[in-house]
Amino acid sequence: MRKQLLFSRRHVKGLYSLFLTLRYTKVMARREKLRALVLSRKDINEADRLITLFSRPYGIIRVMAKGVRRIPSRRGGHLEPLTEVLCIVTGSEGRRYLAAAETENEYSQLHANDEAISHMSMLVRALLGFFREEEPREELFDAFCQACDLLPTLPSHKKDALEIALMLVMLRQSGIFPALKACTECGQGQPVEAVVLDASVGGWRCLSCHQSFQGTHASLPIRLLKALRWLGDYPHRALMLRFEPLESRQLLVAVRSYVETAAEMPLKPNWNHNQTLASQNYA
């Protein structure tokens, strides 16, 4: 009789990554000093504010800033969305408080550039749609900080490429990356016509396989499907990609539409950070 192996190579690999996760998923202490990006804020009660932070070791964290709107408050001026802060967070999961905050990086160039802010707003929106609170997202945190620095310095088509690349990284990390190899309907890998990216089928379909008008406004020529595949494989090389005029925008529209459907949330341009997001109940 053939001896059954307890763990196949695949299982061992799985266990190893589980071990790594357990080892590196730190539990947040009741008082922690953190570097974080402020994602959004929302006024609560008379003087309080609910702040959503993106931290390197714990990912998204929602904290209550008590009395922050009372003047004078030492913390009040340091909680602008899309600034980086060094802060002290106290409390336990589901009920965390901001004890102190100090601005580390104002990203003033970013804030002076409407186009760049609009890209970051979309990315923040997707981040909050894709991920749960208090999951470590170190690589993504670094990428977001880098995007805050880079976006205002880039021409429009490179701004688009950077947003697309980061959207693709988030789709991959949340396990809903689109199947880009072949048409989800006919299985053709090299389409001869434009394709439609469609989150409801988890990938793309040739225009003739796509049996509705939905999403056809965001159809992609073959060249852009190739660009999308390349960006999915090499997101860190996004800025090397060359686009013809308007192509980057066309690809961005398709990717945003995919993200909206995949994360079941609307991505609105000029989204206002000050009025955001359903939040935990601190009452």
How far apart are CB 200 and Zn ion at their closest, in Å?
Answer: 15
| Contact window for Zn ion (CB under 5 A) among 59-67, 109-117, 147-155, 209-217 | 209-217
d(CA 199, CA 260) in angstroms, rounded, equals: 9
How far apart are CB 258 and Zn ion at their closest, in Å?
Answer: 17
189 or 269, CB closer to Zn ion?
Answer: 189
Number of residues that bind Zn ion (CB under 5 A): 6
Q: Which residues contact 211 (CB under 8 A, 6 or more apart)?
A: none
Give me the helix-helix angle, 156-173 and 138-150, nearest 10°.
Answer: 170
DSSP annotation string for the chain: -PPPPSS-HHHHHHHHHHHHHHHH-PPPPSEEEEEEEEEEEEEETTTEEEEEEEETTTEEEEEEETTTTSSS-TTGGG--TT-EEEEEEEEETTEEEEEEEEEEE--HHHHT-HHHHHHHHHHHHHHHHH--BT---HHHHHHHHHHHHHGGGS-HHHHHHHHHHHHHHHHHHTT---B-SS-TTT--SS-SS-EEEEGGGTEEEETTT--SSTTGGGEE-HHHHHHHHHHHH-GGGGGG----TTHHHHHHHHHHHHHHHHTTS---TT--TTS--------
98 or 183, CB closer to Zn ion?
Answer: 183
The interface with Zn ion within residues 176-195 (CB under 5 A) comprises: 183, 185-186, 188
Q: Is 225 in the site for Zn ion (CB under 5 A)?
A: no
Q: Is 29 in the site for Zn ion (CB under 5 A)?
A: no
Closest residue to Zn ion in the complex (CB) = 183
| Contact window for Zn ion (CB under 5 A) among 54-62, 199-207, 217-225, 252-260 | 199-207
63 or 206, CB closer to Zn ion?
Answer: 206
Candidate residues 170, 197, 209, 227; the one interacting with Zn ion per rule CB under 5 A: 209
How far apart are CB 209 and Zn ion at their closest, in Å?
Answer: 3
How far apart are CB 167 and Zn ion at their closest, in Å?
Answer: 24
How far apart are CB 222 and Zn ion at their closest, in Å?
Answer: 12
157 or 205, CB closer to Zn ion?
Answer: 205
188 or 250, CB closer to Zn ion?
Answer: 188
198 or 260, CB closer to Zn ion?
Answer: 198
Task: Strand 203-206: give its sheet, edge to edge.
Answer: 203-206, 195-198, 219-220
How far apart are CB 197 and Zn ion at their closest, in Å?
Answer: 13
20 or 186, CB closer to Zn ion?
Answer: 186
d(CA 87, CA 32) in angstroms, rounded, equals: 8
How far apart are CB 193 and Zn ion at their closest, in Å?
Answer: 9
How far apart are CB 40 and Zn ion at their closest, in Å?
Answer: 40
Q: Is 206 in the site for Zn ion (CB under 5 A)?
A: yes
Please give the residue ranges that form the binding site for Zn ion (CB under 5 A). Answer: 183, 185-186, 188, 206, 209
